[in-house]
């Protein structure tokens, strides 16, 4: 059956940033299609809640609270997964952050500490978890799905660190896919305007009405939801994508025009104040 190619029966999948938002939805979706899911994040209560929801549906889940920006946190995540399941089949590198912590803010005000923190969280953590997990991917091919952002492609005022870190993650996806083929397939999802907790806190709440503007500007006519990303992750982590590696999959409702969210906001504000604007 063709639908069997989209299942993960008997597979063990780690989802970082699995305590809320996109990560939690991916964890629940993977469990629904047969995987034993390891939900990893720094906040114990969040990953336990997600694991409890998965178990309540009759599926297998395990919560690990760890900080994957540290070598100790990465080692703990992998060792606890191996101790429980003996292998790793799939990894979703979803952990990251927007806002000031993730590298958004005026470029002139950037500190050395912020640069290091933004790259460690949005780029280096994914690389480190991947390289420690790959030796434990015994039932080949293993799969890795990195979660990127539209900011890796479009220019945006005030998002230098975040955008550059995600661009680095996309290039790491291509480089590692080449290095570890054919034993491990590595791809990424470039996420558009998806209504995650991060987007709600750092964009929708800050700029009233921007959600409606973005929806109107998107060809499919709506903002994304976390399930949109989970469905794409299922494809990339499952045998259905067996001939795909080193690719970046855009999941953004058709929003292909090379303009950023902030440009839309700034243009709107200039129009409201009667200023002259450029096309």
Pairing, β 61-65 against β 90-93: unpaired
Q: Which of 144, 131, 141 is nearest to 26 (CA)?
A: 144
Q: Which two tokens stand for residue 274?
A: 């009667």
Contact 154, 258 (CB under 8 A): yes
Q: How many residues does the chain have?
A: 279
Radius of gyration of the chain, Cα coordinates, nearest whole angstrom: 19
Distance CA 96, CA 246 (A): 20
User: In whole angstroms, how far apart are CA 257 and each of 149, 155, 263?
Assistant: 15, 12, 12
Phi and psi at 120, nearest 5°, equal: -65, -40
Which of these, 29, 61, 58, lies nearest to 226 by C-alpha position? 29
DSSP annotation of 65: E
Render 34-45 in DSSP notation, one character per residue.
T-EEEEEES-HH
User: Can you say whether the dihedral through the CA atoms of 99, 104, 105, 110 is positive or negative?
Assistant: positive
- HSE of 73 in the Cβ direction (CA atoms, 13 Å)? 21
Strand order, beta sheet including 184-191: 61-65, 36-41, 12-16, 90-93, 142-149, 184-191, 248-251
Q: Which residues are catalytic?
A: 162
């Amino acid at each position: 059956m063709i639908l069997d190619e989209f299942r993960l029966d008997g597979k063990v999948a780690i989802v970082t940033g699995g305590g809320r938002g996109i990560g939690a939805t991916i964890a629940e979706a993977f469990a629904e299609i047969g995987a034993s899911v390891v939900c990893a994040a720094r906040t114990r209560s969040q990953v336990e809640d997600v694991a409890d929801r998965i178990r309540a549906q009759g599926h297998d889940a395990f919560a690990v609270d760890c900080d994957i920006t540290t070598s100790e946190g990465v080692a703990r995540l992998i060792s606890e997964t191996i101790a429980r399941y003996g292998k790793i089949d799939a990894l979703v590198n979803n952990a990251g952050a927007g806002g000031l912590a993730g590298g958004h803010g005026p470029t002139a005000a950037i500190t050395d500490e912020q640069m290091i923190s933004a790259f460690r969280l949005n780029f280096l953590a994914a690389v480190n978890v991947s390289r420690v997990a790959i030796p434990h991917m015994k039932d080949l091919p293993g799969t890795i799905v990195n979660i990127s952002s539209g900011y890796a492609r479009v220019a945006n005022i005030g998002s230098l660190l975040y955008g550059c870190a995600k661009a680095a993650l996309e290039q790491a996806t291509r480089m590692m896919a080449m290095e570890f083929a054919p034993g491990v397939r590595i791809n990424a999802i470039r996420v558009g305007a998806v209504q995650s907790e991060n987007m709600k806190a750092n964009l929708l709440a800050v700029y009233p009405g921007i959600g409606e503007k973005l929806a109107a500007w998107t060809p499919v006519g709506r903002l994304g939801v976390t399930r949109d990303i989970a469905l794409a992750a299922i494809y990339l982590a499952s045998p259905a994508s067996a001939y795909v590696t080193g690719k970046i999959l855009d999941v953004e409702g058709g929003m292909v025009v090379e303009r950023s969210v902030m440009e839309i906001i700034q243009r709107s504000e200039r129009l409201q104040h009667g200023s002259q604007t450029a096309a």
